[in-house]
Structure 1
Amino acid sequence: MVNKIKRIGVMTSGGDSPGMNAAIRAVVRSCAYYNVECVGFYRGFQGMVEGDYMEMDARSVRNIISRGGTILKSARSKDFLTPQGRKKAANSLSKAKVDAMILIGGDGTFRGGKIFSEEHGFPVIGVPGTIDNDIFGTHYTIGYDTALNTVVEAIDKIRDTASSHNRLFFVEVMGRDAGFIALNSGIGAGAEEILIPEEDLGLDRLLASLERSRKSGKMSSIVVVSEGDKIGKNVFELAEYVTKNLPDYDSKVTVLGHIQRGGSPSCFDRVLASRLCVKAVELLLDGQKNVMVGFVNNQIESCSLVSALKEKHDINRDLLRISDILST
């Protein structure tokens, strides 16, 4: 390895996701293994701007692998959006003698890292941590698997009530711009319909599907709705429309909200975070920069931050076909 890096910083930014602590742990312990100092910046880019950091060693991350959230906290930073704020962040990194940064987050985090690197020639590596799974260059992001399991468990419980009272439940899950959580959890929980931003099924098709289900003997159904679905203004308006046009259904709405972000990460997310972050440290020590590490075909690979931001991670269209078949 070309080890010109003596001190690495790590931060978490954007929405928290289960497994971020496992990622922090992997960065810190990889640094310790390779005899590189490590510091953790609090509250993402805002901590960089303010120079708010802590020295971290192998013992400082003990017992955090199973914890949800992030011990380094996360926050939005209006200061970092300005050239002046980014200049202040660069000065803070210089004073802290940090040679490179590992950024754990989503596309907003990577976009900020890319701009910062271009302006100040500072090496950064991105690690995808978001429950939405909407980052190009990786098949899975840290936190996605745990969020899926949380959603499926919740829907299983909702179905018990739906069956007991012959009700139609609309269950809204996270995914403002991407339907990965809705599509996969919907299939996993046996939902009758799945509504996602990428596929505008239309109100007529939804009504026709629910009517077919009713005529086939189903009086309780689950419709999983991604929060970014375009059919209605919101899930409540959608439920009201269906109730008006299909009065035989007793429609209810459940918004799962932020419970999808919390909880102890799954084994998959812990292992994924560990693999990605060990590789991130090794790439920096090997002289690479401005790339994102990803999980592709069970291997850890890297792509440029430009590609991660420019390209789109498409949903698996075959899952839509499978959903239609199984909802019969």
Structure 2
Amino acid sequence: MANNIKKIAVMTSGGDSPGMNAAVRSVVRTCAYHKIQCLGIYRGYEGMMDGDFVELDARSVRGIINKGGTFLKSARSNRFRTEEGRKIAHSKLTQAGVDALVVIGGDGTFTGALCFNAEFKFPVIGIPGTIDNDISGTDRTLGYDTALNTAVEAIDKIRDTAHSHDRLFFVEVMGRDVGHIALHAGVGAGAEEILIPEEDMGIERLVESLERSKTSGKTSSIVVVAEGDKIGKSVFELKDYVDENLEEYDVRVSVLGHMQRGGSPSCYDRVLASRMGVKAVESLLAGKSNYMVGTIHDKMSLTPLREAIKGKSKINKELIRVSEIMTT
């Protein structure tokens, strides 16, 4: 391993996801294992420019592996988008004696890291922390498994009410650009229909499907909708359309929203975070930079940050077919 790195900084940025704390813990303890210093950056790139740093050691991250959110906080930063802002950030890191950076986040976080490296040749490694699972180069992003479990649990509870009152529920889950949460949670919760950005079902086909469900004897239904689905302008527009065209349905809407980001991370996400943190630090020590750590077929991998940003995770076509069969 290269021995010119004496201090690594770690930060979380963008939307929070369950497992971020576990990833920070792993980075810190891997640094301790290799006898190098670790610095935590509060509030992402914004805190970097403010010099909002804290020294971290193995004991300072105890008791956080099971905590949701991120104790290092997260913030958007317009200042870091400017050349002047990045110069300030670089100056603050240099003054603090930081030699390399681990960034935990999604597309925006990685884009900032790439730009920072290009301008200052500053070593960076990314850990994909986003519940949407929308980054190429890893089978699962940090927080996705927990978000799925949260969504399924919520849909199960909504179904109890749907069944009790003979209602149709449109349940909106997160997924602005991809439908991973909607597809997996929909299959897992036994939804009657699943609407995702990748498959334009069309409003008429949806109505026909709901009519078939009613004719077959179903008294209640659940339709899981990814927030980025293209059928209507919003899930509430879908509700209004069904109200107008299928009078026999009593329709309700439930938007799960940010509850999917919160909560204690699942065991899977805790283990994934631990593996990613070790891989990130040891990659930097081995002289690697501008990579994102991930898992492919459960093997740790490195993907160039540029490819991770430009790529788009692919929806599981086989699971789409399974969902169609299950809704028969």
Q: How does the TM-score come out when normalised to structure 2?
A: 0.99
Residue 179 (structure 2) pairs with residue 173 (structure 1): no
SS of the equivalent of 1:199 reads coil
The amino acid across from 1:38 in the alignment is C
User: Residues 179-194 of structure 1: matches in 2 within 5 Å?
Assistant: 179-194=179-194
Percent identity at matched positions?
Answer: 66
SS of the equivalent of 2:259 reads helix
SS of the equivalent of 1:27 reads helix
Residue 180 (structure 2) pairs with residue 152 (structure 1): no
User: What is the Cα deviation at residue 310 of structure 1?
Assistant: 1.4
User: Residues 106-117 of structure 1: matches in 2 within 5 Å?
Assistant: 106-117=106-117
Q: What is aligned with 1:311?
A: 311
Kindly provide the CA deviation profile for residues 203-234 of structure 1, in whole angstroms up to 9, marking residues without a partner as x: 01101111100000012000000011110000
CA–CA separation in structure 2 for the residues paired with 1:162 and 1:3: 61
Kindly provide the CA deviation profile for residues 67-122 of structure 1, in whole angstroms up to 9, marking residues without a partner as x: 00001000000110111101110101101110000000011100110011101111
User: What is the Cα deviation at residue 322 of structure 1?
Assistant: 0.7
Q: What is aligned with 1:236?
A: 236
Alignment RMSD: 0.5
Q: What is aligned with 2:81?
A: 81
SS of the equivalent of 2:237 reads helix
The amino acid across from 1:304 in the alignment is P
User: What is the Cα deviation at residue 248 of structure 1?
Assistant: 0.4
Q: What is aligned with 2:57?
A: 57
Residue 42 (structure 2) pairs with residue 46 (structure 1): no
The amino acid across from 1:69 in the alignment is G
Q: What is aligned with 2:289?
A: 289
5+ residue gaps, structure 2: none
User: What is the Cα deviation at residue 312 of structure 1?
Assistant: 1.4
Q: What is aligned with 1:32?
A: 32
User: What is the Cα deviation at residue 235 of structure 1?
Assistant: 0.4
CA–CA separation in structure 2 for the residues paired with 1:116 and 1:2: 22
Q: What is aligned with 2:6?
A: 6
CA–CA separation in structure 1 for the residues paired with 2:261 and 2:310: 26
CA–CA separation in structure 2 for the residues paired with 1:278 and 1:60: 17
Residue 264 (structure 2) pairs with residue 264 (structure 1): yes
CA–CA separation in structure 1 for the residues paired with 2:200 and 2:119: 40
CA–CA separation in structure 2 for the residues paired with 1:137 and 1:201: 28
SS of the equivalent of 2:295 reads strand
The amino acid across from 2:262 in the alignment is G
Q: What is aligned with 1:204?
A: 204
CA–CA separation in structure 2 for the residues paired with 1:77 and 1:16: 15
5+ residue gaps, structure 1: none
Q: What is aligned with 2:127?
A: 127
Contact kept? 1:172, 1:256, Cα under 8 Å = yes
Contact kept? 1:100, 1:122, Cα under 8 Å = yes
The amino acid across from 1:309 in the alignment is I
The amino acid across from 1:251 in the alignment is V
CA–CA separation in structure 2 for the residues paired with 1:314 and 1:58: 37
SS of the equivalent of 1:138 reads coil
CA–CA separation in structure 2 for the residues paired with 1:68 and 1:235: 28
SS of the equivalent of 1:295 reads strand
Kindly provide the CA deviation profile for residues 45-71 of structure 1, in whole angstroms up to 9, marking residues without a partner as x: 101111111000000000000000001
CA–CA separation in structure 2 for the residues paired with 1:210 and 1:322: 18
User: What is the Cα deviation at residue 201 of structure 1?
Assistant: 0.6
Contact kept? 1:132, 1:178, Cα under 8 Å = yes
The amino acid across from 2:56 in the alignment is M
Q: How does the TM-score come out when normalised to structure 1?
A: 0.99
SS of the equivalent of 1:294 reads strand
Kindly provide the CA deviation profile for residues 232-284 of structure 1, in whole angstroms up to 9, marking residues without a partner as x: 00000111101111110000000001110000000000000000110000000
The amino acid across from 1:256 in the alignment is L
CA–CA separation in structure 2 for the residues paired with 1:218 and 1:152: 21
Which 4+ residue blocks in structure 1 deviate beyond 6 angstroms?
none
User: What is the Cα deviation at residue 159 of structure 1?
Assistant: 0.2
User: What is the Cα deviation at residue 2 of structure 1?
Assistant: 1.5
Contact kept? 1:4, 1:287, Cα under 8 Å = no
